[in-house]
Chain A
């Protein structure tokens, strides 16, 4: 089954403790992206990657890092989480130009205390 898999689904952590949210897709998509969802703000793009070793900032990149060493994986790294990063996070991937379909992961609900 074509899918984007995120882990973990739920995470509670303390301020300053580094964490990684993993994202993996099995569709051989080149484009991958991370979004955060907050009430009243919709989904906002954090980082995206157009291919292996090619990443760039989205609209709200502060406090986050990403890497793209392999096509299938696009982890989101919070080096020093803060309470304002408490949010629902989604990973997404997209097929080549002209393919309009995005596939979203199931989401990771992160709470930073």
Chain B
């Protein structure tokens, strides 16, 4: 079964500092990987996705993530945090192995990012 682990339920950074949110997945087949952001009292917004093309994926709002197969990781980074980045971030994985797994997104537990002035 597919699974996703986000290390750290809460991450706190200062404005201007590096943001690093960690995500590891379990997989027996090549996965598709996603990062979503949820601002307070809002729905889910796609930040970026990995679909087996370039291993370094650039997303919106200056975020990027690198797919590392050897480490089964897909960590999210941003060089310089902004106050508006404060939100909850979810890593998700999907496999197109067919059958009942088709289309299913499996989410990590979420990481709440706090940005201090």
A interface residues with partner B (beta carbon < 8 Å): 31, 33, 35, 40-45, 48, 50, 56, 58, 90, 92, 94, 97, 100-102, 104-107
Can you list, as one digit per residue, whether each of B1-34 has a CB less than 8 Å from chain A (1) or not (0)? 0001010010000000000000000000000101
Q: Are B110 and A42 in contact (CB under 8 A)?
A: yes
What's the count of A-B pairs with C-beta under 8 Å?
53
A42, A50, A101: the one within 8 Å of B109 (CB): A42
The number of chain B residues touching the other chain, given as a range, is: 20 to 34
Q: Are A50 and B32 in contact (CB under 8 A)?
A: no
CB-CB under 8 A from A105, the residues of chain B are 43
CB-CB under 8 A from B49, the residues of chain A are 100
Q: Are A106 and B105 in contact (CB under 8 A)?
A: no
**Docked CA distance A100–B109 (Å):** 21
A40, A56, A90: the one within 8 Å of B44 (CB): A90
What distance in Å separates the Cβ of B29 from its nearest Cβ neighbour in chain A? 15
Given contacts A42-B108, A92-B105, A100-B94, list 11 more A-B pairs with CB under 8 A: A33-B104, A40-B110, A41-B109, A43-B90, A43-B105, A48-B103, A58-B104, A97-B96, A102-B46, A105-B43, A107-B43
Chain A to chain B contacts (Cβ below 8 Å), 5 pairs: A43-B92, A44-B107, A50-B102, A90-B44, A97-B96
What distance in Å separates the Cβ of A94 from its nearest Cβ neighbour in chain B? 5
CB-CB under 8 A from A101, the residues of chain B are 46
**Interface: B51 (CB within 8 A):** yes
Q: Are A42 and B90 in contact (CB under 8 A)?
A: yes
Can you list, as one digit per residue, whether each of B51-82 has a CB less than 8 Å from chain A (1) or not (0)? 10000000000000000000000000000000
Give the nearest-CB partner of A101 in chain B.
B46
Q: A50-B102, A100-B51 are in contact. Are A43 and B107 (CB under 8 A)?
A: yes
What distance in Å separates the Cβ of B23 from its nearest Cβ neighbour in chain A? 11
Q: A43-B90, A100-B49, A107-B43 are in contact. Are A48 and B107 (CB under 8 A)?
A: no
Contact residues of B between 75 and 117, Cβ < 8 Å to A: 90, 92, 94, 96, 100, 102-110
What distance in Å separates the Cβ of A84 from its nearest Cβ neighbour in chain B? 18
